Structure 1
């Protein structure tokens, strides 16, 4: 009886000793974002300068596509620690998504800040892959008069290739696909498959066949090849 009582006392103690932050982290990892958010907010009430909680809340806003709120969180982070490359990248990414939803005139006013954030991320972390991917997309989609160009996108695709051959192939395939050079894109994606063998590499080639080249049978064959690699 005494043993059972002691066990009863000890087990709840380990649960109760968990902080709001620790419980929120577990919920976030399980993608239970709406349950995690108030716990991170509770943690911030107790520790107003806890940057990890601010980052998690920003990530929750990003997952739920509340870009204005995400930008606000990431702006706080990069202001508090301007030397953190990921803070710069997340700020630029959220701002880019916010611009995508804004009217054209407002979006154009955000371009410089978006570009600066991604470039800052690379300067702070020369191996930052995601920031280079973001710049590839930015320069592809921006009109030339506002700084977009294939040559700029290609520059960062080449940098990706130097850091990660599979990302280099995928980004060069993305550029070729954007400009409707589908045979070149196909070659790049096939090379990415040879290097990486990841689901993403097969997905890019299958999507190209299905959505751009109107060759659904080839798309099916790509997925059949992928399934063989997993069997």
Structure 2
């Protein structure tokens, strides 16, 4: 199972927690059990009975949002949500996300043509509910990533983070973490992480997003000491989440502490069995320490789960070499 799908399901569970519906217990249980096809079928049955059920459109939109071939369908569902309840901030936030993903899939001209609607959706969401962390988060993310020629602005992103301080010091700090990660301000990021506090699931996911971005930055720059400090702090803050153990294992692998790396990666797998890179790194650790049998075992698990891609082909070749 690939990374994007795992992240999608994690975020979908977050959206379930934010659901405005009051009579969707069975749908929520299906999603929590990751029976997404069954959930989609049940939701379509609800719409067949009542085509203006905004909650059904909302759930379906989120299901479509995490399937690459259904981004346009996600847009349609969230457009319907906005049409039915235009004063609901959450619906505008989700419409902005759907428009953005659909545009990315459509290429550069689609992106340029949609950027105004994407930005406008997030701005409307913030206008309707200035206290909504997710809406503010998505608007900051837009300004950090969009080129200036189409309306992106790092200064505006910073302004949004400062403004949100009026509503939540915790949320504002998380927005600054995202900004520091995007701008590769490593010392500022580490300081923000060491002082971070999280309470809600949305805050947890925002922190994970920022930490993931910063960890990737540090790996690319070979700043492993800082990466290790970030990993340790994230485990301390979120001991029930697999990410920190994954990052810690990756750092230990770089330090050639293979047994310790395997232990951390095993904890990561225990907490999230469907995240394929952990299996790959366990394979690498065993490979480097000379345990061919274990290396082959984990490499094969990685190949079976990931199925395709350049790394999969390289791993297949390595498996054959180890079998000789």
TM-score bracket, normalised by the shorter chain, equals: 0.7 to 0.9
Alignment check: 8 A CA contact 2:190 2:230 kept:
no
Question: Deviation at 1:90?
Answer: 0.7
Per-residue CA shift, 1:69-115, capped at 9, x if unaligned? 10110001101111111111110111112222221111111111111
More relative contact order in 1 or in 2 (CA 8 Å, sep 6+)?
Answer: 2
Per-residue CA shift, 1:13-44, capped at 9, x if unaligned? xxxxxxx9654342123221111111111111
TM-score between the two structures when normalised by the length of structure 2: 0.57
Q: Which of 118, 132, 156 is the equivalent residue of 1:114?
A: 118
Alignment match, 1:13: none
Structure 1: distance between partners of 2:46 and 2:24: 6
Structure 2: distance between partners of 1:50 and 1:62: 18
Change in Cα spacing, 1:35 to 1:222, as seen in structure 2 (3 Å) is same
Alignment match, 1:9: none
Structure 2: segments with no counterpart, 5+ residues: 1-22, 241-324
- Alignment of 1:50 with 2:58, yes or no, is no
Alignment check: 8 A CA contact 2:97 2:118 kept:
yes
Q: Which of 33, 42, 51 is the equivalent residue of 1:30?
A: 33
- Alignment of 1:211 with 2:211, yes or no, is no
Alignment match, 1:196: 198
Alignment check: 8 A CA contact 1:93 1:114 kept:
yes
Alignment check: 8 A CA contact 2:219 2:227 kept:
no
Change in Cα spacing, 1:221 to 1:111, as seen in structure 2 (3 Å) is closer
Structure 2: distance between partners of 1:213 and 1:191: 24
Structure 2: distance between partners of 1:228 and 1:175: 22
Structure 1: distance between partners of 2:151 and 2:93: 19
Alignment check: 8 A CA contact 2:88 2:128 kept:
yes
Q: Which moved more, 1:63-72 or 1:131-140?
A: 63-72
Structure 2: distance between partners of 1:30 and 1:138: 31
- Alignment of 1:154 with 2:158, yes or no, is yes
Larger Rg: 1
Structure 2: distance between partners of 1:225 and 1:181: 17
Structure 2: distance between partners of 1:125 and 1:221: 36
Alignment match, 1:103: 107
TM-score between the two structures when normalised by the length of structure 1: 0.78
Per-residue CA shift, 1:147-188, capped at 9, x if unaligned? 111111111111233322233223223223322332222222
Structure 1: segments with no counterpart, 5+ residues: 1-19
- Alignment of 1:130 with 2:134, yes or no, is yes
Change in Cα spacing, 1:45 to 1:135, as seen in structure 2 (3 Å) is same
Aligned length: 210
Change in Cα spacing, 1:228 to 1:184, as seen in structure 2 (3 Å) is closer
Q: Which of 74, 77, 84 is the equivalent residue of 1:73?
A: 77
